[in-house]
A = this chain, B = another copy of it.
Amino acid sequence: MSARIFDGVAVANEIRAEVAPEVEAFRARVGRPPGLGVVLVGQNPASEMYVRGKLKAAGEAGLRADLERLPPTATLRELLEAVERLNHSEAHDGILVQSPLPAAMGPDAERRVFDTIRPEKDVDGFHPLNVGRLVQNRARLVACTPSGVIELLERSNIPIAGRRAVVVGRSDLVGKPMALLLLHRHATVTICHSRTPQLAAVTAEADILVAAIGRPAFVTPEFVKPGATVIDVGITSLTDRVSVERLFAPGSKRRETFDRRGSLTIGDVHPSVEEVAGALSPVPGGVGPLTIAMLMKNTVTAAQDRAG
């Protein structure tokens, strides 16, 4: 048996195609496109890549998107001032500050930044007010990755109601909102984490298993009930040949990619899970494109709500 492999790019394109006429309608009605302001501090290569992807998608969606760069030496105060300018900008409906922030800004910096972004412009869904509304099942802006997972499941006709869902990872940005979204769609939801004993036995109860831990290839076949739907949210860049050779057979496409690039993007799910799962969201090409599509959708939602 080999799992059905979800095509995250195709589903993301579906969502982006739905967003396009909404952007047009907004522009016709309000006289300007929905606007996204992105702030990038420093030059982290992964962040550069993510931001580039987001700006490209925004441009393709017909959004206005502006990037404000701050040097790696910027202070938290300077960053908060940049956020405040976007808070007060008429042209910007959504604000995104790319994580991670430089360590020098302090351990609390991301929290301070997310608290400062106006809830109605919080297209990442990280502000506590939006998180609280999510708990109460009435959020307008929900974190993009977990809401992208829901879109992927629903548009792939995977039933959620009445199923057992297990989320591995309890982060504020993915694990907890993911569990809430599944709960509101009537799954029986379990959240596991680093302190869960006999983890594989718990995850093997899942009809829908979401792995969001950031440990490459951690979820092996014994974690997975045969036929289950497995969503891989992890994303790690492997640069170590031994690991790659342990995971992928000689002559495989992934080995070729590694040989060509010197690095390989893999998720939390081990490649051999494909032989056990009923359906699988791959990395890359699964949740990643959906995260970006949901950011576009959130920006349009924020713009519509602001324009009234």
Residues on A lying within 8 angstroms of B by beta carbon are 111, 127-136, 138, 161-162, 164, 170, 172, 176-177, 179-180, 183, 186, 188-193, 195-197, 202
- Chain B positions within 8 Å of A193 at CB level: 183, 186, 188
Interface of A is mostly: mixed
Could you say which of B136, B164, B188 contacts A131, with CB atoms under 8 Å apart?
A: B136
CB distance from A146 to the nearest CB of B (A): 12
A196–B162 touching, CB < 8 Å: yes
CB distance from A287 to the nearest CB of B (A): 21
- Chain B positions within 8 Å of A186 at CB level: 193, 195
CB distance from A202 to the nearest CB of B (A): 6
CB distance from A55 to the nearest CB of B (A): 28
Using A135-B135, A170-B183, A191-B183 as known contacts, say yes or no to A162 and B197 having CB atoms under 8 A apart: yes
A188–B191 touching, CB < 8 Å: yes
Measured CB to CB, the nearest residue on chain B to A190 is B190
- Chain B positions within 8 Å of A183 at CB level: 170, 176, 191, 193
Could you say which of B111, B133, B176, B195 contacts A128, with CB atoms under 8 Å apart?
A: B133
Tell me, in angstroms, the Cα distance from A193 to B197 when the chains sit together: 24
Tell me, in angstroms, the Cα distance from A140 to B12 when the chains sit together: 39
